[in-house]
Structures are given as C-alpha cells and as structure tokens.
C-alpha cells in the first residue's frame, strides 16, 4: 500500500499564503488546541462527519443507511452519535441533498502532485506555487518527504505553513525541498501560550531560531485574538524576538481574528471558546501594527474588522 496524506481542503487561488497565486493544501491533525482555531476540522488526524442544516430536507435516508445506528433526526436536525459513528460514509452516499459530508480525503504523493499541477500556469505567471498548511502539515512529515521531492522535480515553489510545535528532526528531514517557511508565533510569554494553545512555546521559538540559522526565508504569522494575543505588550515582545533572533524574516503578518469558524464548531459538536467574541476594531489593528513596525519594519496587518 502506498503512503497517503490526509487533507481537509485544497484551496486554489490563495494570495496570502506565500508569494504570488498559490494552491494551499490543508492537512488534518494538529498538536495545538488554540482557543480561537478557525479550522477545527483540521484538528483531528482522521476524517470527520459533518451535517449541513441548510441542505437537509429531512429525507431520513441517512438514518436507514447508517450501519451503526449513529444518526437521529431530532427537533434541531440530524444528531450524530460520535461514540458510535465510524465515519464510513454510507450515510453520505444515501443523502439526496449532500447534507452529510466526510471531511478528510486521502491522496498518494503522485495524485497530489497531479492535482497541484492543474494550476501551474497561475504559479508561473504570478511567481506563486504551493503551500502546505493545516492543521499541521508536519504531523504527516512522512508523506511530505515523498511529495516534496516530486514538487521540487516539477519546479514548483514550496512554502510550509507550520505552528512550529514538532521536533526539529522533522524539519531537518524535508527542508532541502522547502523554499519558504510561514511560522506562527502567537505569544512570547510561555504561560500565556500554554493557556491559549495547550502546549509550551519553548520548542516553537527554538525551531524559529534554527530555521533562521539554516538560512530559511521566513514569514511570521501572528493571529490577533481579543483576550488572548491582541495586546501591545505581546506584539512588542514578538517584535523584539524577531528583530533579535530571526534575521531571515521577510514579512510579519498580524492576522485579525475571524469568526468564520463558528458554524464549523457546531457541525463538529465542539465547544468554541470565542463564540461570543467580536471582531476587532480597525483602530486596534492599526495600533498593534504600529507597535510591530517599531521592531520589524516589514510588519503588516490584514483581515476583517468591526468598522
């Protein structure tokens, strides 16, 4: 059996995940549990079953088809008993309106390369390429070790979007085929980082240092989250770290909090800590971007605001 990679999306025409027009591949599985994660479908390293209320007509064919009896039609719609569901996909095939969906597709390296090559003309005309994101792509480093040499052989520019919370040995095994690393740095204070993500940031920061020492071009990404990372002290501390420790940084993106992940949590039957959090004001983002630029002139911000 060939080695396969499990993804939850291949997004075409991305313009913020590296230079030019890109295809971004989102892998399933992540070592962090960020309170604000807007892609919760990427957390688990296995497929997930979701139900879309706006598509459902109550045909009940899914209930009849489920071999585990894991589905129930209640007043609020289809309820999934996730202790019984094996994500076999039988209900998906039975549903006449595609109201049920299995999130998670397996690819061989050759299949993925063929998919990415479909947009080669856009990469070539824009100076773009492919970006591997997630979840956390380094959770599937064995698959990347098969795929990235194929991308290199095809002349594709490769960016790796990573949270940094994996062993350095994993990065060492594939960096020869990577042109750019997009590294998340969310918080500098270790206790705040653990409270926000569930893990320490010590290894993340050290991996950043090692990437810089290896001469790897870096784009730093900081999600700006109300109540967690959106304060001048944190942004200034990250700025000092970049200035003093990461000489290969080419760009620092402050990414404004987005609430687009809310319905995803509902579909996955997960609690969302930021369900009531508002978007940030433009003035807040501009103030934090000014603080960032004091240490790192290539800092910039993007995203929706409440005004």
Question: Where in the chain does DSSP place strands (E)?
Answer: 4-14, 22-27, 48-51, 71-74, 77-80, 100-103, 105-108, 129-134, 158-162, 180-184, 218-224, 249-256, 299-302
Q: Report the distance separating Cα 105 and Cα 42, nearest Å.
A: 12
Which two tokens mark 289? 């971007």
Measured in whole angstroms, the distance separating CA 23 from the mean position of its chain's CA atoms is 13
Residue where a domain stops, chosen among 103, 122, 147: 103
Report helix, strand or coil for 209: helix
Asked whether residue 62 falls in the same domain as residue 81, the answer is yes
We report the CATH number of the domain holding residue 170 as 3.20.20.70
Torsional sign, CA 253, 259, 260, 263 = positive
The boundaries of the domain holding residue 254 are 4-45+104-302
Asked whether residue 98 falls in the same domain as residue 212, the answer is no
We report the CATH number of the domain holding residue 90 as 3.30.70.20
Asked whether residue 29 falls in the same domain as residue 95, the answer is no
Asked whether residue 227 falls in the same domain as residue 92, the answer is no
Asked whether residue 217 falls in the same domain as residue 84, the answer is no
Q: Give residue 97's pLDDT.
A: 97
Asked whether residue 54 falls in the same domain as residue 182, the answer is no
Give the residue among 243, 235, 215, 222 at the shortest CA–CA distance from 163. Answer: 222
Q: CB of 161 within 8 A of CB of 133?
A: yes
Average the pLDDT over 45-50 and give the result: 98
Which two tokens mark 217? 């071009």
When divided into structural domains, the chain yields a total of 2
Arithmetic mean of pLDDT over the chain: 97
Q: 1 pLDDT band (50/70/90 cuts)? A: confident
Asked whether residue 53 falls in the same domain as residue 197, the answer is no
Q: Residues of the chain with pLDDT > 70: what percent?
A: 100
Task: Please check whether residue 31 lies inside any domain of the structure.
Answer: yes
Give the residue among 31, 30, 27 at the shortest CA–CA distance from 7. Answer: 27
Q: Give residue 239's pLDDT.
A: 98
Q: Give residue 198's pLDDT.
A: 98
Q: Give residue 200's pLDDT.
A: 96
Per residue in 162-212, pLDDT (tens digit) is 999 999 999 999 999 999 999 999 999 999 999 999 999 999 999 999 999
Asked whether residue 22 falls in the same domain as residue 169, the answer is yes
Task: Please check whether residue 307 lies inside any domain of the structure.
Answer: no
CA separation, residue 297 to residues 69, 111, 282, 293 (Å): 57, 41, 19, 4
Asked whether residue 94 falls in the same domain as residue 237, the answer is no
Average the pLDDT over 33-61 and give the result: 96
Asked whether residue 55 falls in the same domain as residue 35, the answer is no
Asked whether residue 134 falls in the same domain as residue 273, the answer is yes
Measured in whole angstroms, the distance separating CA 173 from the mean position of its chain's CA atoms is 21
Backbone angles phi, psi at 47, to 5 degrees: -65, 155
Asked whether residue 16 falls in the same domain as residue 157, the answer is yes
Q: Residues of the chain with pLDDT > 90: what percent?
A: 98
Q: CB of 97 within 8 A of CB of 124?
A: no
Per residue in 241-275, pLDDT (tens digit) is 999 999 999 999 999 999 989 999 999 999 999 99
Q: Give residue 2's pLDDT.
A: 87
Q: Give residue 133's pLDDT.
A: 98
Per residue in 75-127, pLDDT (tens digit) is 999 999 999 999 999 999 999 999 999 999 999 999 999 999 999 999 999 99
Which two tokens mark 285? 């983002």
- Answer whether residue 281 shows pLDDT above 90: yes
Residue where a domain stops, chosen among 63, 80, 103: 103
């Amino acid at each position: 059996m060939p080695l396969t990679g499990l993804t939850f999306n291949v997004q075409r025409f991305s313009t913020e995940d590296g230079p030019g027009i890109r295809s971004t591949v989102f892998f399933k599985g992540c070592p962090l549990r960020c309170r604000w994660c807007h892609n919760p479908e990427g957390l688990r390293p296995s497929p997930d079953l979701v139900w879309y209320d706006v598509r459902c007509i109550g045909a009940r064919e899914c209930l009849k088809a489920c071999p585990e009896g894991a589905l129930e039609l209640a007043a609020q719609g289809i309820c999934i008993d996730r202790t019984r569901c094996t994500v076999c996909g039988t209900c998906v095939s039975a549903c006449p309106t595609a109201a049920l969906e299995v999130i998670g597709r397996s690819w061989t390296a050759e299949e993925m390369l063929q998919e990415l090559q479909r947009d080669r003309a856009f990469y070539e005309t824009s100076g773009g390429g492919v970006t591997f994101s997630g979840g956390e792509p380094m959770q599937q480093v064995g698959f990347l070790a098969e795929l990235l040499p194929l991308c290199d052989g095809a002349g594709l520019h490769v960016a790796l979007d990573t949270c940094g919370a994996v062993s350095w040995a994993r990065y060492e095994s594939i960096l020869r085929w990577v042109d750019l690393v997009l590294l998340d740095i969310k918080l500098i204070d270790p206790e705040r980082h653990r409270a926000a993500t569930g893990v320490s940031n010590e290894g993340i920061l050290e991996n950043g240092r090692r990437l810089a020492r290896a001469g790897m071009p870096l784009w730093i990404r900081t999600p700006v989250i109300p109540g967690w990372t959106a304060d001048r002290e944190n942004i200034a501390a990250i700025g000092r770290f970049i200035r003093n420790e990461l000489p290969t940084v080419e760009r620092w993106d402050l990414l404004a909090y987005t609430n687009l992940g809310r319905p995803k949590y509902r579909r996955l039957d997960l609690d969302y800590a930021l369900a009531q959090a508002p978007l940030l004001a433009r003035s807040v983002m501009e103030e934090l971007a000014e603080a960032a630029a004091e240490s790192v002139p290539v800092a910039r911000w993007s995203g929706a605001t409440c005004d």
